[in-house]
Structure 1
Amino acid sequence: MPKTIIDANRSILSLDLGELLKYKDLFYTLSYRDFKVKYAQTFLGFAWAFIQPFMTLVVFALVFSRGLQINTGGIPYTLFASCGLASWTYFSSVMGQAGASIIGAQGMVQKIYFPRLVIPLSKAVVGLIDFGIALLVIVILMLFYQFPPSANLVFLPFFIIMAMIASLGVGIWLSALTIRYRDFQHVIPFLLRFGMFFTPVAYPANLLIKRMPDWAAIIYYLNPVAGIIDGFRWSILGSEPPGMLAYISFGVIILLFTTSLFYFKKVERIIADIV
C-alpha cells in the first residue's frame, strides 16, 4: 500500500513538482468539473463561448476602427483585434479563476491532503477550451477576409506556451495572496476591467510606444501580455515582429511564474489553517 509522508519542515526551495504526477487523476477531475459547471444551467450553454468574444469584437470595431480609425497596417481590423482578444481572454480567464480557486475549494482543502497547486493549475486547462474557440474564430475571419496565414505560424506554439505561463504565474500568485489578504478578491476584477485598456488588445502597441519616452515604454512592457499579443499577431497575421521591448514582457513572465511557485510552496503548508 502506498505511503504518503507530509513533512511540514520541508524547505520551500524544494518544489517537488513530481508529486503533481501522482495526483493527475484529481487534476483531470477538477478540470472536467470546472468545464461542466461553467456553462451549466444556462439557456445558451456552450454558445456563450462564441457570443462573448463576438460582442466584444463588435464594440471594438465600432469604437476603435470606425470611431478612432486606427491604422492596422493593411490587416482587417476585426481580424487584428481578434488576435489580441484571444490572448487577453485566455490570460484574464485563467488569472481570475486561478486567483480565487483556493478560496472556492476551501472545503476540500480543509479535509484531505493533496498538492494545493493542482487547483490553480486545473484552471489553465479549462481556459484552453475557450482559447481554442477564439482561435477557431480567427480562422473563420481569415477565410472570410481571404487573408492568408503568415509564414511565421510555426512560432505560434511558443507564444501559446508563454500565454499559459503568464496566466498561471499571475494566477498562482493571486491564489496564494488571496488566502492571507481577502482584499485581492476585489482587486482581481478591478485589474481585469482596466487591464485590457493598458494592453494592446484593440490597438497596435507602437501607436503608444512611438509617443512615449523610453522609460514609459519600458513600464508599458512590464505588462506580461503585451509581448505575447505582439507575438500572436506577428506569427498569425505577419504584422510587425515583436521588438526588443517584448523581451521585457517575456522576462517578467518567467520571473512571475518562478516566484509564484516558490511563494505558493511557502504558503501551502498553512493553507488549511488560514483558508
Structure 2
Amino acid sequence: MQKLIIDASKKSISINTKELFTYKDLFVILAYRDLRVRYAQTFLGLLWAVIQPLFTLLIFVLVFGKAIKIDTGGVPYPIFALSGLSAWTYFAFVMNQAGNSIVGAQNMIQKIYFPRLIIPLSKAVVGLVDFIVTLLFMAGLMLWYQFAPSHNLFFLPLFILLTIIAALGIGIWLSALTIRYRDFQHIVPFMVQIGLYATPIAYPASIVPSEYQLLYHINPMAGVVEGFRWSITGGSSLEAVAYVSFGVAIVLFISSLFYFRKVERVMADIV
C-alpha cells in the first residue's frame, strides 16, 4: 500500500511537470506582463531595483557599521551587508508577490483552465531582473573598494538556486494558504519586516549565542545568506548548522508543491 501511494505521488508530480511545460508560453506571457507593468510609466525604470536596497544599506552602514561597529572579518561593511541584502531582497520580493499571486489572478482562474502553479512561479522570473541589477550594483561597489571576489565565487550559482527554492517554497505555501485564509495577506509584510533582522544580513550569524544557533537556522534564509556571502567575500567554511537552513528550504519547497497540488483542485471554487 505504501509503495502504491509513493508511486501515485511520483506520477502526480511528473504529470504536473509535463503540464507546466505544455503551458510554457503562458508562463512567459505572465512573467513579461508583470515585468512590463512593474516599470510602466516610471521615470527611473530599473533604477528602482537599486534604490530600495541602497537606502536599506545606508541605514545598516550607519547603525551596524558605524555605531555598533560589527566585526566583518576584514570585509568592507557595505560589501558585507549588500552581499546578504541582495539575496534577501529577491527572497522578500518573490515571497510577497507569489504569496498574493493567486488571489490577484482570481478572475483569470475562474474563467479558464491552466496549471495554477504557473502564477507563483512566474514571480520568481520577474524578481530575477531586480536581482541581477542588484548584483551588478554590488560588483560596482566591490570595484570601488578594490575588493576582489573570493575564489568561492564558483559556488554562487548554487546559492542563487537555494535562494530561489527558499523564496518559492514559502511563496507557494502562502499563495495556497491565502486562498482560504486572507489573513496571510496581512502577515506577509510582517514576515518580511521581522525576517530582515532575523537573518544574518546586517551582522554575521556567529554573533548568535551557540545555544540558539539551531533554532536560528530554522530560518531557511539564515544559511542561504551565509552561503551567498561566503561565495562572494570568502572567509572560513560554513558552519555545519547552516545546512539545517538548506534542508528546511528544500522541505518547504517540496511540501509546498504537494499542498498546492491538493488545493488546486478546488481553487476556482474558493478563490
Distance 1:205 1:238 in 2: 15
1:45 corresponds in structure 2 to 45
Post-superposition Cα deviations, 1:56-81, rounded to whole Å, max 9, x if no partner, equal 11111001000101010000000000
How far residue 12 of structure 1 moved from its aligned partner, in angstroms, is 6.1
Structure 1 equivalent of residue 270 of structure 2? 274
SS at match of 1:114: coil
Q: In the alignment, residue 111 of structure 2 is paired with which amino acid?
A: K
- The alignment status of 1:218 with 2:221, answered yes or no, reads no
**C-alpha contact (below 8 Å) 1:20/1:118 kept by paired residues:** yes
Residues 78-101 of structure 1: CA distance to partner in whole angstroms, max 9, x if unpaired? 000000000100100000000000
Residue 108 (structure 1) shift: 0.4
Matches within 5 A, 1:1-275: 14-15=12-13, 16=15, 17-208=17-208, 211-213=209-211, 216-275=212-271
Please give the alpha-carbon distance, in whole angstroms, between the structure 2 residues aligned to 1:45 and 1:154: 31
Give the Cα separation in 2 of the matches to 1:12 and 1:270. Answer: 18
> Residues of 1 paired with 2:240 and 2:178: CA distance?
34
| Greater share of helix | 2
State the shift of 1:218 in Å: 0.7
| Deviation (angstroms), 1:55 | 1.0
State the distance in 2 between where 1:202 and 1:151 align.
Answer: 23
Overall identity of the aligned pairs, in %? 60
Alpha-carbon contact 2:217-2:223 (below 8 Å) kept: yes
Q: How many residues were matched structurally?
A: 261
- Conserved? CA contact 1:233–1:239, under 8 Å: no
* Aligned 8 A contact 2:88 2:196 in 1: yes
Alpha-carbon separation, structure 1, partners of 2:58 and 2:142: 16
Instruction: For residues 85-126 of structure 1, give each alpha carbon's deviation from its aligned partner in whole angstroms, at most 9, with x where no partner exists.
Output: 001001000000000000000000000000000000000001
How many Å separate the matches in 1 of 2:146 and 2:70? 21
Distance, in Å, in 1 between the alignment partners of 2:181 and 2:9 is: 21
Give the Cα separation in 2 of the matches to 1:19 and 1:98.
Answer: 20
Distance 1:239 1:201 in 2: 16
Runs of 4+ in structure 1 deviating by more than 6 angstroms, as ranges, are none
Q: What letter is aligned with 2:221?
A: V
